[in-house]
Amino acid sequence: MDIIEKRKDYPEILATLKVIENDIKTFKDDTKDDIDEIKDDTKDIKIDMKDNYVTKTEFNPIKKVVYGAVGLILASVFGALVTLVVKL
């Protein structure tokens, strides 16, 4: 007789193992479904990114124009302030 046959709780252990096996199977199926859902969401995000957002290379010329305009305005304001101070 080996050790397993001597144990009195062998049927309980088998039942517990079956429950654990079913839990693992359910977990694997749920995980696969979750991964598929994440992949679908990622595809949707990529499509939205292509359609609704601007890339850095497309944005750089606009950024340069806006920074130039802001710099020109700030230089004008600073120049006007210096002119006021010098007149006093």
What are the domain boundaries of the chain?
1-53, 55-88
User: How does residue 11 score in pLDDT terms, banded at 50, 70 and 90?
Assistant: confident
pTM above 0.85, yes or no: no
How far apart CA 16 and CA 48 sit, in angstroms, is 47
The predicted model gives 70-80 an average pLDDT of 97
Rounded to an integer, the average pLDDT of 42-69 is 90
Mean pLDDT of 43-61: 88
| 65/22 Cα distance (integer angstroms) | 63
Tell me the per-residue pLDDT of 64-74, one tens digit each, with 9 for 90 and over: 999 999 999 99
